[in-house]
Amino acid sequence: MKNISKKLRPESLMMSYGYKPELSEGAIKSPIFQTSTFVFKTAEEGKAFFEIAYGHRQKKENEELGLIYSRINNPDLEILEDRLCLWDEAEKCAVFESGMSAITTVLLEFLNPGDIVLISNPLYGGTSHFVHKILPKFNIQVEFFYHYETAQEVIHRIEQKKIKDKVALIYLETPANPTNHLFDIQMARNIADYCSTPDKKVYVTVDNTYMGPLWQHPLKLGADLVVYSATKYIGGHSDVIAGACLGSQEIINRVKYMRTFLGNMAGPWTGWLLLRSLETLKVRMETQAYNAKHVAQFLNQHPKVEKVYYLGNLTQTDGHQYIIKQKQCLSDGAMISFDVKGGEREAFLFLNHLKLIKLAVSLGSTESLAEHPYTMTHADVDVKEKIALGITEKMIRLSIGVEYYEDIIWDIEQALSVI
Ligand SMILES: *Cc1c(COP(=O)(O)O)cnc(C)c1O
């Protein structure tokens, strides 16, 4: 890119940053580098690339890690990683073939047998399954905390259970899915610092999928790592599964090292699709948030709706939840859950009569989606726990898309009228 002295905003750089047309016959867009391996100019060059890739020596000044093999690096992935860094102002990024592979790679890299991971509840179903069913095989245990707990309460529990020296990682999802409950990232930082010792730094990881790279920047709020399901807002078109992880150079080097050996990096075609998606990330997400505000206003006053879970509904009377929102969220987002008056029967009647909004799980895409958390995304969660978390049979979760908002509201209104 030409030398530009002005600091440009990420949305201005999404079409060009990190890509050199002169290396690709002048093509304005990055080609799909559908190749498994890369030709070295000389044996000496190949040797130097491997020394750096395997960390056998530090990079010299201005020396770049050359392309070796697409499990380690590929131009579509490198450009994508550079562009994703801009939104979160991260030093480094690693992209994966799914959100789950980003999450599990982080957990496997930063946890050892005997460790405990302190984790917010509720959790995304896949993450919940991994920490409950798979981590215990490696003798890694889980301790949960809840949105209504204070740092003092969590620390008190850690003291009582005598697990302070075992806590190795704090992991949170905020806003929580599907209730939109908020967790305080600074509070997680404080607990992590309390559990850290000079030779054990406890990292804080935030799954930022629900807010996407636009509306919440966990690294600026005290987190060490941020993970995304790029399948959601980043991809944004319901046509690709992918994930990402961002943080400091030191941390992401470790994550990439693990990724190289798990072999779960994204392929060039996935990388290229996400590059295309990133160009419209901001316009998509802003439209989605704008539409969601109107939809929430409609639901708030509807007689067949009992309760609406939407960040824009928080007020000062919500106390700490409101304070966290003011501190952490740059938007009210585009995820709305609501309880219909009734139970599963009424919720299903609504879902079965939608005409424009699709009945599907996933979120953050251009089309609006509706689902029933109790029997779908959260089917695996223990019933008692679901009820305690407020996930009941009358709850519907909406992901608002980019359609004209009056059409979305028309669809919701006609489906509610059937109940
Ligand atoms: C979808 C999702 C994931 C998993 O991502 P995949 O891309 O489906 O592997 C993780 N966390 C949250 C919050 C999600 O919504």
Residue nearest to atom 8 of ligand 1 (CA): 99
**Is any atom of ligand 1 closer than 6 Å to the C-beta of 231?**
yes
Confidence (pLDDT) at 243: 98
Task: Give residue-wise pLDDT tens across range 158-211.
Answer: 999 999 999 999 999 999 999 999 999 999 999 999 999 999 999 999 999 999
Q: Tell how far the Cα of 99 is from the centroid of ligand 1, in angstroms.
A: 5
Pairing of strands 203-207, 167-173: parallel
Res. 131: pLDDT tops 80:
yes
Number of structural domains (the chain) is 2
Range of the domain at 335: 281-416
| CA 241, chain centre distance (Å) | 12
Q: Mean pLDDT across the chain, nearest whole number?
A: 96
198 C-beta neighbours (distance < 10 Å), count: 5
Residue 148 domain-assigned (yes or no): yes
Residue nearest to atom 2 of ligand 1 (CA): 229
CATH number of domain containing 246 = 3.40.640.10
Whether 393 contacts 361, CB under 8 Å: no
**Is any atom of ligand 1 closer than 6 Å to the C-beta of 277?**
no
295/403 same-domain check:
yes
**Is any atom of ligand 1 closer than 6 Å to the C-beta of 97?**
no
Residue 24 domain-assigned (yes or no): no
153/249 same-domain check:
yes
Last residue of a domain, one of 255, 278, 301: 278
Q: Is the dihedral of CA 284, 356, 176, 209 positive or negative?
A: negative
Q: Tell how far the Cα of 219 is from the centroid of ligand 1, in angstroms.
A: 19
Q: Tell how far the Cα of 62 is from the centroid of ligand 1, in angstroms.
A: 36
93/128 same-domain check:
yes
Find tokens 């290229």 and name the residue.
272
**Average pLDDT of the residues in 137-163:** 96
- Rounded to whole angstroms, the Cα distance separating 401 from 290 reads 10
Take residue 390 and report the two structure tokens written for it: 């407020």
- Rounded to whole angstroms, the Cα distance separating 375 from 402 reads 26
258/304 same-domain check:
no
Res. 261: pLDDT tops 60:
yes
Largest CA distance in the chain: 74
319/412 same-domain check:
yes
Confidence (pLDDT) at 2: 65
Whether 226 contacts 218, CB under 8 Å: yes
Pocket probe for ligand 1: among 98, 104, 124, 371, the residue whose CB has the most ligand atoms within 8 Å is 124
Task: Give residue-wise pLDDT tens across range 52-80.
Answer: 888 888 888 888 778 999 999 999 999 99
Give the list of residues 6+ apart from residue 380 with CB closer than 8 angstroms, or none.
125, 128, 129
Last residue of a domain, one of 245, 278, 311: 278
- Rounded to whole angstroms, the Cα distance separating 183 from 120 reads 8
Query: 3-class SS at 268?
Result: helix
Last residue of a domain, one of 256, 278, 300: 278
**Is any atom of ligand 1 closer than 6 Å to the C-beta of 98?**
yes
End-to-end alpha carbon distance in the chain: 57
